[in-house]
Structure 1
Amino acid sequence: MANSTVTDWETAEFWARSRTEMTSAYALPPAVYADEDFFGSEQVRLFGRAWVGVALAAEVAQPGRLLVRSVGGRSVLLTRSDAGLGGFLNSCRHRGTELAEADCDIANTIRCPYHRWHYSADGQLVAAPFFDEVPREDFDMTDYGLIPIRTEVWGPLVFVSLDADAPPLRIWLGDLPERLAAYDFENWGPASVPGGSRTFDVAANWKLLAENFAEYYHLPWVHPELAKVSRVPDHYRYQGPGMYCGQTTTPVSGEERDDWLTLPPAAGLDDSDAASGRFVALFPNVTLAVLPSHMFLMRLEPLSAGRTLEHCTFLFPPGPMTDAEPSAELRESFEITRRFWIEVNDEDIDICERAQRGISAGGAPPGPLAPRFEEPLNRFHKMTADLMTLPSLAELEIPRGDRPGSVDLFGSEPNPVPPAIERIQASTATGRS
């Protein structure tokens, strides 16, 4: 645990040095990463209120499948019925028993293991054994369906929110669906070859992993091989309005290493998407590394202040990689790409675990952020502060996006091949001037 007696992280004062403009912003205090009391509060105030990524849409695409997930310290169920996707608290309406321990097939019926109350896949109570032997006038089965939770899908992901006051997912995502629309993620899927998914148990706080993904200050020293294909001078901001942080590499380079360029690209990409890598940290717990030919998606599951599960999955556009039998050449290409990503992720895990040890055992006060490289962290920190301090998410202000041109940038010129959405914004701004 960090050497801290701070107990006021739900107050604005605790976050003040991280909520300033970028040129005067500091990193977050050690307690945010190392204090178990903070972690407990964060589970309630942040994960218990945000739109949290909990599963791939493909995992619950067919009726009869049930998923069990933990969100903000609560256990939830995800189901698919003829009525569509549903989310519910994992608790029987009789005496609260846990309905399922792990993902399973349910044949469209959820059965309580204790007293065998039965629920349909859309959460309706359909059987309460023996309640008709001594009828109760106050008992109507339609009143005792499972407790629903807010559940929505965007692209390849299922999100849930336990808070009625959280803005709709479309507001939370901001311009991200439009920004990434050309990739057509709804039709992307996992590879039909082994090795497409893997979970890592990481001895670091989830925020360290999200922050590490969002910034490229560490790139030359932690990832010397990655820096050959995702060169530091080729990084640009990739942020519109929405609860996310973004950067892009334009262009992705294949001159020294072509590990990201060995697979066939998606159809229909414009000149910017076809040449770039898009890296988006979707607040709070999902990261998307999108290349023209594939996506490396990571969902973070916090277990404690110093432990996180990384659920990593490769997704591909419709085509030979999602066919039943990819060719031997494609399998080899995928293995090159997969191995490179795992090597990069191993380097990230190692440095984040080292950061966790330094924060927990050393607890040095937070230092200044580097404006050129760490602006996405400042954006991430402000979103974290909002979730931890706002009394209601009805008051949440979605971060605005970068304005067209270089006015919001630090130390770099505008992207030479900007995304389509930014070209449209720049054209509109010019037309107004």
Structure 2
Amino acid sequence: MGQLFSGTSQSEALYSSFTSYFQKFKAENKIISQGIITLIELYLTLGDLQQAKDEIASALRELTSTPLNVAVIGESGTGKSSFINVFRGVGHEEKTSAPIGVVETTMSRTPYRHPNIPNVVIWDLPGIGTTNFPPKDYLEKMKFYEYDFFIIVSATRFRKNDIDLAKAISIMKKDFYFLRTKVDIDLENEKQCKDTFSRETFLQHIRSHCVNMFKKNNLDVPPIFLISNRNVSDYDFPILKVTLKNKLSTNTHQNIMFSLSNTTEATIERKHNSIQQFIWLEAFKDGVLMTNPVVDILKDSDVEKLKMSLNNYRVLFGVDDATLEFMAKDSQVSVEQLRKIIKSPYLLETKKRKTLEGMLLKYMERSASANGGLLKSGLYFRKTYYLELLFLDTVAEDAKVLLRETHSRN
């Protein structure tokens, strides 16, 4: 191990590693097409490492530039357009704002760019169930299959159309958030009707009702947010803003992951495999791998990038702090209890734990035969890529642990 290769033998080793790695995946689970993989393999057999590297770079650019399409849906009058304006930080009277009013104002699906989140397109869809858009025609007219992620907006009470939309999204195996708007009005009405009143009890009652409606209809319970578009510093709106921005800001090469909810361990594994492929391709592109043992020193800038990657993986797999809060509410346990059974939040807290170097060595030993047999052929990633793979494995395992825990409590 660690010997230097001639150009030809290095290409042969790279070809063998690249081919054996991608043979592990079925066609539908590969993040780049088989045609691109075959082309890269051809350049490697010809000894043209630069062309192979350029082809990978081009495929990665295409993945990262793909826009994320987010559909905001629900019945007319629930506050969809108002939510879009508030989330984008745009005043209702500005030219780029979504039109709002007491009558139906959105008559066609309309795209809006978020000013601070690149490659994200938020679509304001007309209300379902009106005379203009009856449910039986709605999905086809709104081109439901084109969106990567959905936000269902509801108000006043849970309706059949909310369930029908959730079922359609679930059939497509895509993710969604559920927003219950106008809770300030609900609270005011409740105060006037009752002699004794508890804000927290009432809000928990609304949340529990939403949870029960999803379960009653055999649907996985999505993240539920109780908000007011008029009081954006109150209720769940602050945490919704942070959670949604984190989710949408995650590198757009992972957009395909929004279509995979953590409903089973198999879907978590599919998500893990897809992101692992991306890390592997990035590592391959970055200098077409190394032919010496991993001796590069981690710099402060490397650690900062690793922190960002770890946070992104936690968001994608639903083990970030904001999602843990919602899991805790739904499961009626403390956040601390959930944090105790997972490992990823502590990966970079090394004072009382193994150092990054120690974690890296242990991971390399454990995965010596993985990733296309790279170590067997004497080829190496930089340390940062091994650590990214370690972080990804840990976060994916955390997602499985939390899935088992929440299912055992339901």
- TM category (shorter chain) comes to under 0.3
Q: Which is helix-richer, 1 or 2?
A: 2
Q: Which has the larger radius of gyration?
A: 2
Normalising by structure 1, we get a TM-score of 0.26
Normalising by structure 2, we get a TM-score of 0.27
